[in-house]
Amino acid sequence: MEKTHNEKLRKHHRRLKCTIRAHHITGSLKEKGVLTDDDVDKIYDEATDEKRTERLLFILARRSSSAFEAFIQSLKEVQRQGTCLYEDIVRLLEGADPDQGTDEDKWTHVQSQIKGYIAKRLDPNKACDDLTKSHILTEEESNIIQEEKTPFEKAKSLLCVLSTKGQSAFLALCRVLHAQGLEDIVSFLNQASVGDTLKPVTNVPEPVEHFVKTNDATKVEQALGTSNNPSNIVVSGIPKSGKTQITRWIAKQFLHHHPTAVVWALDGQNRQTLLASKRKLLEALNAEVTDEEDVTKVDECLDQALQNRGTPVLLIVDDLEDGTLLTPTLLRERIQSRVLILTRQEELQLPDETPWPCNLQGLP
């Protein structure tokens, strides 16, 4: 494989390992002559999805230059409801990621200039706990960091691991530094406009003070939190049944785990209220607010704005009675993103070519 291709696999190794599922593409790569039967056996001998993907990447890096293009083509072939499941990964590997150079510059800034200064002041134990809960670090990575003998060495090890994870990890580091009262370092690292991205974008109120987590709330939480589940969750129930408080609690939990996220409630009562809600979200994202009445074009603008921000997303479509008001663009699968749809309809008909949803009926 060419040096530039190997460098892309190395640079994005952790994201590829955590995102791609080997069983989606091993068959295609075998048909293309990139993998042998023995290679496939070695991949499936691994115990977890991440380890299987890691083994696949290890094998690819030692193949000919055509293996990289075959890898990208195989990712493109993974379709769900007419949409490429790995569209963001393909864009990243093909060099179309607009933040790629910026991320590298930010982490170079950390590593070369103030790594030691940060390590002396950062509480690595609190940082690891926070970043693990936010799913920036894996449990295994956190345990490896904790094996270092001194807090200074732990902090340096933590920074090395984070530097492989791109923009989301940089933003998470800034948030951790801010939480530990190290605003001077955050200001120095940001220097420009990154600080705005650290703040969540939300219009969802807090749940009532006496909210008690119910079995129904647990079902919704599990549906949203399981990576194997569809990214679109439909919750049906009668009016005044408690769906609103459950979703407010869910939004609060999502923000707890993803403090830089976009969590936005869209009013789905009718076409006009839904368009108005989307325009308010575009405004909150500092994106150009379109006057278009074409729902598809508005959703394309919103999709681009969410991609540009690059943080997790939870969209809550409330009081939706007509599923055809939603578009495949709004409902397409994105990494670390979910769409929660609240409706009184027992069977909500969504548009064709949209990802198949997870239906939670009769809540509560």
Q: Tell me the three state secondary structure of residue 264.
A: strand
Residues 279 and 222 in one domain: yes
pLDDT interval class at 138 (50, 70, 90)? confident
Distance between CA 168 and CA 311 in Å, rounded? 7
Fill in the amino acid letter for 170. Answer: F
How many domains does the chain fold into?
A: 3
Residues 222 and 319 in one domain: yes
pLDDT, mean of residues 110-117: 64
Res 340 pLDDT > 60: yes
H/E stretch holding 316: strand 313-318
Residues 159 and 248 in one domain: no
Fill in the amino acid letter for 7. Answer: E
DSSP secondary structure string for all residues of 323-364? GGGS-HHHHS--TTEEEEEEES-SS--PPTTSPPPEEE-S--
The predicted structure's pLDDT at residue 104: 52
Distance between CA 38 and CA 36 in Å, rounded? 5
Q: How many CA atoms lie within 13 A of 7 on its CB side?
A: 7
What percent of the chain is modeled with pLDDT above 70?
A: 82
Query: Among residues 267, 252, 254, 258, which one has the least CA distance to residue 325?
Result: 267
Domain at 62, CATH number: 1.10.533.10
Pick the last residue of a domain from 170, 195, 220: 195
Res 51 pLDDT > 50: yes
Pick the last residue of a domain from 72, 93, 114: 93
pLDDT interval class at 25 (50, 70, 90)? very high
Residues 87 and 104 in one domain: no
Residues 244 and 309 in one domain: yes
Domain at 288, CATH number: 3.40.50.300
Res 125 pLDDT > 90: yes
Cis peptide before 364 (omega within 30 of 0): yes
Mean pLDDT check: name the lowest of 101-110, 197-206, 349-358.
101-110
Pick the last residue of a domain from 195, 228, 250: 195
Structure token pair of residue 16: 């590829």
Residues 351 and 227 in one domain: yes
Residues 294 and 320 in one domain: yes
Residues 150 and 208 in one domain: no
Residues 176 and 61 in one domain: no
Query: Among residues 289, 363, 294, which one has the least CA distance to residue 329?
Result: 294
Res 248 pLDDT > 80: yes
Question: 86-103: per-residue pLDDT in tens?
Answer: 887 888 888 744 344 445
For residue 176, the enclosing domain spans: 100-195
Residues 217 and 341 in one domain: yes
Residues 115 and 26 in one domain: no
Res 316 pLDDT > 90: yes
Res 201 pLDDT > 80: yes
The predicted structure's pLDDT at residue 265: 96
Q: How many CA atoms lie within 13 A of 158 on its CB side?
A: 33
In angstroms, the Cα distances linking 133 to 17, 20, 127, 130, 257 are 19, 21, 10, 5, 6
Residues 216 and 353 in one domain: yes
List the beta bridge partners of residue 340.
233, 316
pLDDT, mean of residues 16-38: 90
pLDDT, mean of residues 315-335: 87
